[in-house]
């Protein structure tokens, strides 16, 4: 049985959350201010990723958060010059 991966438009009001069960996509279009949050160790499939370069009138200051954000728990801090986990 074959399934078609959905096309997704990512906007400030509709971010994309990529998870263990939501990780297969057709065309993903990221509008200005749109964000993708990745929280999975599973393989991710995006057939085509398009980032719109249009400028919104209301967008005078860009967010300091990136377009694609990897989420997860922090590792242990380093000790005595040794790297943490």
| Ranges of each domain in the chain | 8-54+65-70
pLDDT score at 37:
94
Can you give the pLDDT of all 85 residues of the chain as single tens digits?
A: 457 899 999 999 999 999 999 999 999 999 988 999 999 889 999 999 999 876 655 554 455 567 888 888 777 777 877 766 6
The separation between CA 49 and the C-alpha centre of its own chain, rounded to angstroms, equals 11
Query: Which positions ≥6 away from 55 have C-beta within 8 Å?
Result: 32
Query: Which positions ≥6 away from 60 have C-beta within 8 Å?
Result: none
């Amino acid at each position: 049985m074959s399934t078609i991966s959905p096309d997704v438009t990512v906007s400030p009001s509709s971010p994309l959350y990529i998870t263990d069960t939501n990780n297969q996509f057709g065309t993903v279009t990221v509008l200005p201010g749109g964000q993708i949050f990745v929280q999975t160790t599973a393989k991710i499939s995006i057939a085509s990723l398009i980032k719109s370069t249009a400028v919104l009138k209301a967008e005078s200051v860009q967010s300091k958060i990136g377009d694609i954000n990897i989420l997860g728990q922090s590792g242990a801090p380093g000790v005595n010059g040794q790297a943490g986990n």
